[in-house]
C-alpha cells in the first residue's frame, strides 16, 4: 500500500512538489520552505530597519505602561514618553534627527530612576544606572566616564548591537556641577572635568572600552561602542536651583512694578514647583557647562510627593510595597492584612524623613522585619493596624 504523502502547508503531493522533507508531524515541500525563508528574511529586515520603534506604537502606549509603576508625575511621564518615542523613531529615519537626551529635575525619591527603569522594561532594551559622583577625569582616582558603557555592555550580556540601542541613567548629575565661576589653581577632576568628559559620549561617538571595566591599558583588548543611538537620561535633585529661579523671577517682575514678591501666580509656590520654570541659563548658573546643557535638550521636572501620592505608591503600582510584603508572607502561608489607617501612618512618618518614595521601603522594613523573623509563630491571618505602627515607631520618632 502506497501512502499518499503531501506537504502540510500547500497539500501538494510528492509527484507535484518534488522534494518533501519529513518531520515529526508531517512533511513540507521545497516551495513552502523557500516562501517561509522569504517571510522570515523580510521580517528580520524590517526589525533591523526600524529597530525598537517597530514595536513601539505610540507615546500614549508607553505612558500607559509607565503608569503601572510610577504614580503621579503626569507631565514628566508625557514628556518622557514623547522624547523616548522620538529618539527610537529617529533610528529609522533617512533624515538625521538630533538625539532626545533628557534631564530630570526633582527631589530624592520622586521617581526619576524608576521612570528610566520602566521605559527600558517596556522597550526591552539594556538599562544601566551610574552615579555621577564616582566619575573622575581620566588619569585620576575614580572611574572614567567610559565605565558607563562597560556597565551598559554588561547589562546587554556583551551584545554590542543591543548595547548601542540601550538606555543610560546618570544619577546625581547635579553633584558634578562646576564648583565656581571663578578660575581655580586646582583642577576640578570630579566636577567640570567630568562634564567635559561626558560630552563626547552623550553627543555620540565611537568609544573604545575595556570589556571587564577598570582603566584603559595599552595591552588590554578593547570593544568599540557607537553611542549615537544610546539614550541618555540624567537626573538630579538640584538643591538650591529653586533659589536661582526665584531670584531671576523676582528681578524680572520687580522691574515692572512688583516688589518683595515675584508675580502673584508664583507666590507661595512649593520648592519643586519652581523647577517647572527652569531655563538653560538657570542650569548654567547652577554649575552645568553650556555644552552639556545643550546635549540634554529635553528638560522636565518631577513634583514632590505629598501624603496622598505616597499612599497611592504604597498600594497601587504593579510592584507596590504592600503587595510585595503580602507575597512574602503568603509564601509562608500567612495572610497579611494592613489596615488603611496603618498605611496612612506609615506614609505620614515617611513624609517626615524627606526621602520621598525611597523612604517608604525603609519604614516598611522597620515594621515588618520582626514579624518576618518570627513568621513561623504566626498562622492564618496577621493584621497590622495603626496601634502596631505607633508602637513600632515610638523609638524612632518623638511625639
Instruction: Reduce the secondary structure of the chain to three states and give it as a string.
Output: CCCCCEECCCCCEHHHHCCEEECCCCEEEHHHHHHHHHHHHHHHHHHHHHHHHHHCCCHHHHHHHHHCCCCCCHHHHHHHHHHHHHHHHHHHCCCCCCCCCEEEECCCCCCHHHHHHHHHHHHCCCEEEEEHHHECCCCCCCECCCHHHHHHHHHCCCCHHHHCCCEEEEECHHHHCCCCCCCCCCCCCCCHHHHHHHHHHHHCCEEEECCCCCCCCCCCCCEEEECCCCEEEEEECCCCHHHHHHHHHHHHHHCCCCCCCCCHHHCCCCHHHHHHHCCHHHHHHHCCCHHHHHCCCEEEECCCCCHHHHHHHHHCCCCCHHHHHHHHHHCCCEEEEECHHHHHHHHHHHHHHCCCHHHHHHHHHHHHHHHHHCHHHCCEEEEECHHHHHHHHCCCCCC
> Is 399 within a domain?
no
pLDDT bracket for residue 44 (50, 70, 90):
low
Q: Averaged over 33-41, what is the pLDDT?
A: 81
Interval 9-32: pLDDT, tens: 888 887 777 788 887 778 888 888
CA distance 46 to 245: 47
Interval 142-192: pLDDT, tens: 678 888 999 999 999 999 999 998 999 999 999 998 765 554 444 455 578
Taking alpha carbons only, the member of 68, 69, 87 closest to residue 79 is 87
Residue 166: strand, helix, or coil:
coil
Interval 95-124: pLDDT, tens: 577 788 999 999 888 899 999 899 888 888
> Is 84 within a domain?
yes
> Is 8 within a domain?
no
CA distance 298 to 139: 32
For residue 383, the domain's CATH number is 1.10.8.60
Q: Are residues 247 and 112 in the same domain?
A: yes
Predicted local distance difference test score (pLDDT) of residue 219: 60
Q: Is 267 annotated as a binding residue?
A: no
> Is 261 within a domain?
yes
pLDDT bracket for residue 333 (50, 70, 90):
very high
CB atoms within 10 A of CB 180: 11
Q: Are residues 212 and 313 in the same domain?
A: no
* Residue in the structure block whose three cell numbers are 561602542: 225
Q: Are residues 331 and 190 in the same domain?
A: no
Phi-psi region of 109 (alpha: psi -120 to 50; beta: other; left: phi over 0): left
Taking alpha carbons only, the member of 381, 349, 376 closest to residue 365 is 349
Among the residue ranges 34-43, 137-146, 195-204, the one predicted with the least confidence is 137-146
Q: Is 261 annotated as a binding residue?
A: no
Q: Are residues 91 and 41 in the same domain?
A: no
Q: Are residues 173 and 129 in the same domain?
A: yes
pLDDT bracket for residue 57 (50, 70, 90):
low
Among the residue ranges 7-11, 331-335, 337-341, the one predicted with the least confidence is 7-11
Q: Are residues 44 and 64 in the same domain?
A: no
Range of the domain at 143: 57-301
The dihedrals phi and psi of 16, each to the nearest 5 degrees, come to -85, -40
Q: Is 364 annotated as a binding residue?
A: no
User: Which range, 92-106, 167-181, 312-326, 349-363, has the best average confidence (pLDDT)?
Assistant: 312-326
CB atoms within 10 A of CB 281: 12
Predicted local distance difference test score (pLDDT) of residue 291: 94
Q: Are residues 283 and 224 in the same domain?
A: yes
DSSP β-bridge partners for residue 382: 336
Q: What is the pTM of this model?
A: 0.75
> Is 2 within a domain?
no
Interval 227-270: pLDDT, tens: 999 999 999 999 999 999 998 888 765 555 555 544 545 444 44
Residue 50 scores a pLDDT above 50: no
Percent of the chain with pLDDT over 70: 81
Q: How many domains does the chain have?
A: 3
Q: Are residues 29 and 118 in the same domain?
A: no
Taking alpha carbons only, the member of 328, 309, 343, 340 closest to residue 373 is 328
pLDDT bracket for residue 206 (50, 70, 90):
very high
Amino acid at each position: 500500500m502506497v501512502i499518499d504523502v503531501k506537504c502540510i502547508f500547500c497539500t501538494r503531493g510528492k509527484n507535484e512538489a518534488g522534494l518533501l522533507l519529513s518531520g515529526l508531524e508531517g512533511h513540507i515541500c521545497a516551495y513552502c520552505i523557500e516562501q517561509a525563508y522569504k517571510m522570515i528574511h523580510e521580517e528580520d529586515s524590517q526589525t533591523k530597519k526600524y529597530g525598537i520603534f517597530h514595536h513601539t506604537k505610540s507615546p500614549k502606549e508607553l505612558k500607559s505602561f509607565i503608569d503601572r509603576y510610577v504614580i503621579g508625575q503626569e507631565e514628566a511621564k508625557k514628556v518622557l514618553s514623547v522624547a523616548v518615542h522620538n529618539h527610537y523613531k529617529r533610528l529609522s529615519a533617512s533624515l538625521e534627527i538630533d538625539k532626545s537626551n533628557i534631564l530630570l529635575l526633582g527631589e530624592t525619591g520622586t521617581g526619576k530612576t524608576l521612570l528610566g527603569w520602566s521605559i527600558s522594561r517596556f522597550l526591552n532594551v539594556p538599562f544601566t544606572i551610574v552615579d555621577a559622583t564616582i566619575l573622575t577625569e581620566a588619569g585620576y582616582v575614580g572611574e572614567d566616564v567610559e565605565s558607563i558603557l562597560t556597565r551598559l555592555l554588561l547589562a546587554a550580556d556583551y551584545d554590542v548591537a543591543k548595547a548601542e540601542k540601550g538606555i543610560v541613567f546618570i544619577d546625581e548629575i547635579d553633584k558634578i556641577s562646576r564648583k565656581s565661576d571663578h578660575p581655580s589653581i586646582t583642577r576640578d577632576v570630579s566636577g567640570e572635568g567630568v562634564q567635559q568628559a561626558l560630552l563626547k559620549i552623550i553627543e555620540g561617538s565611537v568609544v573604545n572600552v575595556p570589556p571587564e571595566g577598570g582603566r584603559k591599558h595599552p595591552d588590554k583588548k578593547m570593544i568599540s561602542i557607537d553611542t549615537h543611538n544610546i539614550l541618555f537620561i540624567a537626573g538630579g535633585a538640584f538643591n538650591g536651583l529653586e533659589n536661582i529661579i526665584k531670584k531671576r523671577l523676582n528681578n524680572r517682575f520687580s522691574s515692572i512694578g512688583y516688589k518683595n514678591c515675584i508675580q502673584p501666580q508664583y507666590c507661595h509656590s512649593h520648592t519643586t514647583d519652581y523647577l517647572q520654570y527652569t531655563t538653560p541659563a538657570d542650569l548654567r548658573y547652577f554649575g552645568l557647562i553650556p555644552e552639556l546643557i545643550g546635549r540634554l535638550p529635553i528638560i522636565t521636572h518631577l513634583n514632590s510627593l505629598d501624603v496622598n501620592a505616597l499612599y497611592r505608591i504604597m498600594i497601587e503600582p504593579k510592584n507596590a510595597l504592600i503587595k510585595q510584603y503580602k507575597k512574602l508572607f503568603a509564601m509562608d502561608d500567612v495572610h497579611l492584612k494592613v489596615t488603611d489607617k496603618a498605611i496612612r501612618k506609615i506614609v505620614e512618618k515617611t513624609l517626615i524623613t524627606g526621602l520621598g518614595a525611597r523612604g517608604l521601603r525603609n519604614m516598611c522594613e522597620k515594621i515588618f522585619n520582626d514579624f518576618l523573623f518570627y513568621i513561623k509563630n504566626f498562622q492564618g491571618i496577621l493584621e497590622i493596624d495603626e496601634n502596631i505602627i505607633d508602637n513600632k515607631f515610638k523609638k524612632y520618632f518623638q511625639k
